[in-house]
Chains A and B, each alone.
Chain A
Amino acid sequence: MEFGLSEDQKLLQESIRGTLEKVSPLERVRKAAEAKETHAADVWSALAELGVPGMLVPEAHGGMEMTLLDAALVAEMLGRAVAPVPFIATAVMAPIAIAGAGSKAQQEAWLPKLASGEAIAGVAIAEAASGAREGAGVTASGGKLSGKSLFALDAAKADVLVVADKAGGLHLVKGDAKGLAKVALTSIDLTRTLTELQFDNVEADALSAGDAGETFRRTVNAGRVMLAADTLGTGWAMIDKAVAYAGERKQFNRVIASFQAVKHMCAEMASELEPCRSLVWYAAHAFDAMPEEASLMAAHAKAHTAEVGRFVARTATEVHGGMGFTDLLGLHYWFKRIGLDRQLLGSPERLRHEAAAMQGWAAAD
């Protein structure tokens, strides 16, 4: 029995952390955000050199075939650095969908390119994972897609899109397909992109080789665990920043870190967030090793980490006082990243309802 990280996993996490500190400091993040770059290509290629895009791609297609826990460790570090890169869809959800339900030809067409970092993949799955807003939804008929999907992930400059239709089917659509329109949705979080995809009889290639329902669930579960891990890393960065700031800021001739009111805020944040690490690890491990628990744990990990994340984002900002509220300090990038994580792929309320339904305690929607 061992519930912890292997030496390789600790090394992986340290190497991602070190690389991001070098290539994606706050100035780089700020530049990407202010210029509305869809992603920081230089940061992504530095991560590609470490094999990040191919982490979950099968070895047969040029990837590293690692576990979802490995990916969660990377997601945590990306959150910590508020890195503006297309990770969740490109490196996690799309490879899982294509490897799970793609034909041999579909896998050969896309997985090697995704593994090398050559191609970017978007995922349009919000209606199925969080519920449809404004009547959005995509209908598939005769190999063509119509309708619209909101809040697509990593989709702005994607070479290929994984699209969920209203009936639960998954499809591959080329990024430059005829009849496809992309509308940028600007969110509070400028480190990641959200896109509205409009389909007017767009040619699509169904992902129907494997168990489509199971692949859909795995894709969503993996995305949820990544968002939870992202919030874990983002939240711990905020706690560390709050502790460091409180250790420097003086009022009443004392560093404010010596006031119990401030210390207790920091202790509460740490004490709420640290157990989330164990929940995220367990949910990620369940994805690969205990499939019967995977959906429940992914839902709980995402919902609970989102609730704690909101508390940490608010409290860490308060510890920074007025400075936390300024653009100058840049703390708001972390605050907003936690804010976006919370809303994507199912709100805490929705996820708790799903978790209850999975255990037979509520009617499934």
Chain B
Amino acid sequence: MDLAYGPEYEGFRAEVRDFIAKNKDKAPKRFGVARPSEESIAWQKLLIEHGYAARTIPTEYGGYGAEPDILKSRIIAEEFTRAKLPMGLANQGISMLVPTLLELGTEEQKKKWIEPTLKGEVVWCQGYSEPGSGSDLASLQTKAREDGDDFIINGQKIWTSTAHAADMIFCLVRTEPDKPKHEGISYLIFSMKTPGIEVRPLTTMTGHAEFNEVFFTDVRVPQKDIVAGRGQGWFVANATLKHERGMLGDPNQAGTRLKEIVDLMHEETVDGARLIDNPVYRDRLMQLQARVFAMQFHGLRLLTAASKGEDPGIARLIVKLQGCEINHQLAALAIDALGEIGVLYGDSPHLRAHGSWQHRYMFDLGLIIGGGTAQIQKNIISERGLGMPREPKPAKA
């Protein structure tokens, strides 16, 4: 047990701080909602040049080419957070497609797609879920029929978050309808400008269209743009989902939110008394502080295991379930501390923090469902973590 980073890492931290001091004025003020703004693209380029974004991606694919060092990655994140500066771009192309291509793509696919994706020039969306295939993703029905050197795609995807702004899609389609469901899926990448694709915004309970539905009608795409071969899509998707689950439920984000609630409870008053002086609300705050601490230290434990190449087992499997739940409870406490003000929304007078607590309270419920529902997480924890048996398949009628 040693929580000090030691001289080598503290030297690296000093380099990061020096970079931040010299360059913080170049950080983007506007990020762009679905597509990165020009400022964001310039910032990303600067970060990659210095190894603060795309750090471990090989240089031949446009990355910085450093050896993986999870402690250095953490130091970068800590220093950027401390300086309240945005990190590099974080989108589904960078967090999911790039690692997938690095692991399973052909040399040509890597050369063609990774660099422009890292630089923010190509924006991707993820075509996985369908109206009839959520938790049972492998039952997906979007079909790709062979036609010469092409596939002809028909079907529908849902929850495609950046589809309206995306250049490209990585998409799961059924290419082998006669094979068992897991073996009939392929992972295709194709342009969102291809004729026959229609994107419709999907407005959620937050009142915003954070997602889309995507409809495919006789969409013709080349067969060569497949990753890892026909029928390999389920295997590829699992490699990708692993990267997504790592993204959700970041414990440092919960720490930041907790601080915001502490400030809120010091500022807000009821009958002239501060919320922090109300023992009932304060007790809820303290319960959440313990849970946030526990998950932060849990994060340190996973970080240590990762840096040694050890599999922390069940400790890793619980992160999404716990992290999303704690974030939702933090938003719930903020709303309750605000009382009636906590339900104001949109452009109402008396709003606090532009209505962001109410927005988070609703949006975080979406995160509990998305990326593997809480119930699917519990199946994974009990089956893979505790060794309990799978639910038996119902007898065929």
Interface set, chain B 1-19, CB cutoff 8 A to A: 1-6, 9
CB distance from B284 to the nearest CB of A (A): 9
Q: For residue B1, which residues in chain A have a CB less than 8 angstroms away from its CB?
A: 2-6, 67, 69, 281, 285, 289
Tell me which of B5, B300, B392 contacts A258 (CB under 8 A).
Answer: B392
Task: Tell me, yes or no, whether B297 is within 8 Å of chain A by CB.
Answer: yes
Complex CA distance for A303 and B289, rounded to whole angstroms: 11
Q: Which of B318-353 contact A (CB under 8 A)?
A: 318, 321-322
Task: Specify which of B295, B308, B385, B389 is in contact with A275 (CB 8 Å cutoff).
Answer: B295
State whether B303 touches A263 (Cβ < 8 A): no
Please give, as numbers and ranges, the residues of chain A lying within 8 Å of B289 by CB-CB distance.
300, 355
- The contact string, 1 if C-beta is below 8 Å from chain B, for chain A 300-314, is 110110010000000
Contact A278 B297 (CB under 8 A): yes
Docked-complex contact B315 and A260, CB < 8 angstroms: no
- Taking CB atoms, residues of chain A closer than 8 Å to B298 are 274-275, 278
Q: Are A3 and B303 in contact (CB under 8 A)?
A: yes
CB of B301 closer than 8 Å to a CB of A: yes
Tell me the minimal C-beta distance from B388 to chain A in angstroms. 5
Say whether A263 contacts B383, CB under 8 Å. Answer: yes
Among A2, A3, A267, A352, the one with the most B-chain Cβ atoms within 10 Å of its Cβ is A267
A254 is an interface residue with CB less than 8 A from chain B: yes
Q: Does B209 contact A (CB under 8 A)?
A: no
Interface of A, secondary structure class, is helix
- The reply to whether the CB of B394 lies closer than 8 angstroms to some CB of chain A is no
Q: Looking at B291, B308, B382, B391, which has the most chain A CB atoms within 10 Å of its CB?
A: B382
Is the pair B283, A349 in contact by a Cβ cutoff of 8 Å? yes
A263-274 interface bits toward B, Cβ cutoff 8 Å, 1 = contact, 0 = none: 110111011101
Contact digits for A20-36, partner B, Cβ 8 Å, 1 yes 0 no: 00000000000000000
In the complex, A97 has a CB within 8 A of chain B: no
Contact with A along B74-88 (1 / 0, CB 8 A): 100000000000000
* Cross-chain contact B322 with A271 (CB below 8 angstroms): yes
Contact of A307 among B4, B74, B287 (CB under 8 A): B287
Contact of A267 among B3, B294, B385 (CB under 8 A): B385
Asked if A88 lies at the interface with its beta carbon under 8 angstroms from chain B, I say no
Residues of B close to A356: CB separation below 8 A: 282, 285-286
Complex Cα gap A279–B378 (Å): 22
CB distance from A112 to the nearest CB of B (A): 28
Q: A272 — which chain B residues lie within 8 A by C-beta?
A: 322
| Beta-carbon contact of A254 and B3 below 8 Å | no
Nearest to A259 among chain B residues (CB) is: B391
B388 touches A3 (CB 8 A): no
- Residue from B294, B375, B385 in contact with A278 in the complex, judged by beta carbons closer than 8 Å: B294
Q: Give Cα A349–Cα B286 distance, bound, in whole angstroms.
A: 9
A301 / chain B contacts, CB cutoff of 8 Å: 290
A residues in contact with B321, CB < 8 Å: 267, 271
Q: What are the interface flags for B377-397 relative to A under an 8 Å C-beta threshold, 1 for contact and 0 otherwise?
A: 111011101111111100000
- A304–B287 Cα distance when bound, in Å, is 7
Give the chain B neighbours of A254 by CB distance below 8 A: 392
Structural contact, A4 and B375, CB atoms closer than 8 A:
no
The reply to whether the CB of B71 lies closer than 8 angstroms to some CB of chain A is yes
Kindly state the separation between the CA atoms of A239 and B385 in the bound complex, as whole angstroms.
12
Q: Is A66 in the interface zone, CB < 8 Å from B? A: no
**Interface residues as binary, A328-355 with B (CB distance below 8 Å gives 1, 0 otherwise):** 0000000000000000000001001101
Selected contact of B381 from candidates A262, A271, A285, A300, CB within 8 Å: A271
Closest-by-CB residue of B relative to A290 is: B3
Please tell me if the beta carbons of B305 and A4 are within 8 angstroms of each other in the complex: yes
Task: Answer whether residue B309 sits at the interface, using C-beta atoms and an 8 A cutoff.
Answer: no
**Contact call B3/A285, Cβ cutoff below 8 A:** yes
A105 within 8 A of B: no
Flag B357-391 by CB within 8 Å of A: 1 or 0 each. 00000000000000000010111011101111111
Query: Is A89 an interface residue, CB under 8 A from the partner?
Result: no
Closest B residue to A258 using CB positions? B389
A242-254 CB mask vs B (1 if < 8 Å, else 0) is 0100110000001
Interchain CA distance A353-B290 in the complex, whole Å: 12
| Distance of A355 Cα from B291 Cα, bound (Å) | 13
Contact B385 A355 (CB under 8 A): no
Closest CB-CB distance, B288 to chain A, in whole Å?
Answer: 10
User: Does B304 interact with chain A (Cβ within 8 Å)?
Assistant: yes
Cβ of B314 and Cβ of A274 under 8 Å apart?
yes
Instruction: Indicate whether A60 reaches chain B with its CB closer than 8 angstroms.
Output: no
Contacts of A353 in B (CB 8 A): 279, 283, 286
* Of A4, A272, A279, most B-chain CB atoms within 10 Å: A4
A362 within 8 A of B: yes
Report the bound CA distance from A91 to B245 in whole Å: 43
A282 at the interface (CB under 8 A from B): yes
Closest beta carbon of chain A to B68's beta carbon, Å: 15
Complexed CA–CA distance, A243 and B384 (Å): 13
A297 at the interface (CB under 8 A from B): yes
Please, which residues of chain A bring their CB within 8 A of the CB of B391? 258-260
Complex CA gap A122/B120 in Å reads 66
18 A-B pairs whose Cβ atoms sit less than 8 Å apart in the complex? A1-B4, A1-B74, A1-B300, A2-B3, A4-B301, A247-B389, A260-B391, A264-B375, A264-B378, A267-B379, A271-B381, A275-B291, A277-B301, A278-B294, A279-B294, A282-B297, A304-B291, A362-B277
Q: Which 10 A-B pairs have the closest CB atoms?
A: A304-B290, A278-B297, A263-B382, A3-B300, A352-B286, A267-B378, A275-B294, A267-B381, A271-B318, A279-B294
5 new A-B contacts, CB < 8 A, other than A270-B318, A275-B297, A361-B262, are: A259-B391, A278-B297, A300-B293, A356-B282, A356-B285
